[in-house]
Structure 1
Amino acid sequence: MGRNGVKEFSKAQVSSLLSTFCDFVATAGVFSLTHHVVASTALGAFTGGAVNCSINYCWTFKGTCRTKKGVLCRYVAVWLGSVMFNTAGTEWGVKLVRCSGLWPDQNLGLVMMVKAIVAVVVAVAWNFTTQKYYVYKK
């Protein structure tokens, strides 16, 4: 990865960090009110995705040859995959940890810990690659 690739990857990580913060705040708020893993994770992912798309379009991957509408259509497709992976991964992870007996109570701490692990895997394995080569391709 050349100098420009490292710079672009670094910007993507800053964007991801900011959007993840928004995602986690929304998740914690909804979970505190509903105690529903799937609803809180999905709403958080949608919130973070909106922030991420905006930052990436304006700053991280600026200079794309695609129109705003083109970017939005492609971003939504990638984003839905991300929401699915994050939501399913968090739900399954919480169930796995609870079934193992390591953390028998479903509470905010467990949900956020599992969500953080899943978010890192999805961000590196799915989000960056699909955004760079499919959504914001130059």
Structure 2
Amino acid sequence: MADRIEEKSRFAGWRREAWLFMKAQLSAQIATVIDFLITILLVKLFGIYYLYATFIGSVIGGIVNCVINYEWVFKAEDCKKIHVGLKYFIVWGGSILINTWGTFALTEWLARMKWVNGLLGYYVYDVFILSKITVALLVAFFWNYYLQRFFVYRNHNLKRFLKQRLEHK
């Protein structure tokens, strides 16, 4: 009997984590759609260099993601907004740098590949969309979710958290 209760409890925990991950991914997708729309509009309609447009899209998408995550995904009402904001800014800054640099590096690499040139011609503005999608997915899964889940939306005392991390090294 105790084994069945423990098994149900384990399944419920797994289900809760899976639901949280799905909500976080939905939030990220909403922010990503906004990010991509802004980026593509800035490049295609206004002729802004794709790297600047990527940065601007990432900033606006990040703001949208933070608000949705705070209110709906992680329900961080018990966390001080200033602490969430500071922690999000740290993680978000890293995300913007990785997204921007990653998009640039992958775009430049793909643009120099002969098979890509054969498919698309040397038209960086089309290649950057493929690069942006690839980098955005990698950053979403391996950077944003874990840092937001275990750092940003947890009620950590930031000074104590950093002090503990620095002392353990």
Bigger radius of gyration, 1 or 2?
2
Offset of 1:35 from its aligned partner? Answer: 4.3
Equivalent position of 1:68 in the other structure:
81
Please say if 1:86 is aligned against 2:103.
no
Offset of 1:64 from its aligned partner? Answer: 5.4
Equivalent position of 1:106 in the other structure:
124
Maintained 8 Å contact 1:64/1:137: no
Instruction: State the structure with bigger RCO (CA 8 A, min sep 6), 1 or 2.
Output: 1
Offset of 1:106 from its aligned partner? Answer: 1.2
Q: Distance in 2 between matches of 1:81 and 1:64?
A: 24
1:22 to 11, 26, 34: 34
Equivalent position of 1:117 in the other structure:
134
| SS of residue in 2 equivalent to 1:34 | coil
Superposition map of 1:50-69 within 5 A:
50-63=63-76, 65-69=78-82
Q: Distance in 1 between matches of 2:148 and 2:78?
A: 13
Q: Distance in 2 between matches of 1:63 and 1:20?
A: 22
Structure 1 spans left out of the alignment, 5+ residues: none
Q: Distance in 1 between matches of 2:55 and 2:38?
A: 10
What is the TM-score normalised by the length of structure 2? 0.77
After TM superposition, what 4+ stretches of structure 1 lie above 2 angstroms from structure 2? none
Matched residue type, 1:2: W
How many percent of aligned residue pairs carry the same amino acid?
A: 32
How large is the Cα RMSD of the aligned pairs? 1.3
Q: Distance in 1 between matches of 2:77 and 2:18?
A: 18
Equivalent position of 2:56 in the other structure:
43
What is the TM-score normalised by the length of structure 1? 0.94
Matched residue type, 1:114: S
Structure 2 spans left out of the alignment, 5+ residues: 1-12, 156-169
Maintained 8 Å contact 1:24/1:44: yes
Tell me the alpha carbon deviations over residues 103-131 of structure 1, each in whole angstroms, 9 at most, x when there is no partner. 32212x32111100100000001000000
| SS of residue in 2 equivalent to 1:137 | coil
